[in-house]
Amino acid sequence: MSDSRRRTYNSRQRRGRKRKNYQPASGILIVISVLTLLVLFAAGRFKGHGVSAGDYDRSTLVFSKKGGITAVSVESFDKDYYSKEELDKAVDTALKDYQAAGGSGIAKKSLSVGNGTAKLVMTYDSTEEYEKFNRVPAYFGTVSGAQEKGYSLDGLIGTPSRLDSGSLLPADGLSDLSGHGCIVITEEADIVTGKGIPILYASSNLTTKDDHTASLEGTVSRENPAVIVLQ
């Protein structure tokens, strides 16, 4: 083979290898590793409160009265970087690895792609399973339990009650709510509460739409979580 042909051949080979070894966009790597691309189908947990992928266009966590979570994450989907089959396989592999390590209580319900977005439907038996699998702090228990775990509930102070919009939670009001149900999340997602667990207070980085829906409107982190107190 002549030098000129060899250079042309090698150039084609390098281009071929580069094409095969492309990496998914950084955003979808986060989706795969953290699996917060979630939209939930209630799987029998929400009697009278059915949920479907089409109900949400933003990442959402749906909490049931029994403590289960249906997690909704919506991400942009660019077929030039990855395929639905690749994403499906990555999620299945993550689930198998989790189960092989002794994890349980998690199921993938569906993965849909359309209109430039991907929605993954997952169910979790508890916030503990959600935390372990996604490595993202979350809590569902009582107000006092959230405080014992070190979560800051300061974002609730001064927020209106869903029962009386003119009644704002005073600085010393959390002690009176110690036994009330409490949801804490530390990631960007809206919150939906199931039948029988209406919202009483929502932290200042959330906006309540009704007694069961709160949309994230501010920043959220472990130090500044989104918090719901239930009636």
At residue 27 the predicted structure's pLDDT band, cuts being 50, 70 and 90, is very low
pLDDT in tens, 147-171: 999 999 999 999 999 999 999 999 9
Out of 36-45, 184-193, 215-224, which region has the weakest mean confidence (pLDDT)? 36-45
Q: Across the chain, which distance is largest between two alpha carbons, in Å?
A: 86
Task: Give the list of residues 6+ apart from residue 91 with CB closer than 8 angstroms, or none.
Answer: 32, 35, 108, 111, 120
Task: Give the list of residues 6+ apart from residue 114 with CB closer than 8 angstroms, or none.
Answer: none
In the predicted structure, residue 39 carries a pLDDT above the cut 60: no
Task: For 31-58, give one letter per residue: b (16+ CB within 10 A) or e.
Answer: bbebbbbbbbbbeebbeebebebeebee
- pLDDT at residue number 73: 82
At residue 54 the predicted structure's pLDDT band, cuts being 50, 70 and 90, is low
Report the predicted TM-score, pTM, of the whole model to 2 decimal places: 0.76
Q: For tokens 């979790």, what's the residue?
A: 124
d(CA 100, CA 203): 38
d(CA 230, CA 142): 9
Could you give the 3-state DSSP secondary structure of residue 208? strand
- pLDDT at residue number 50: 46
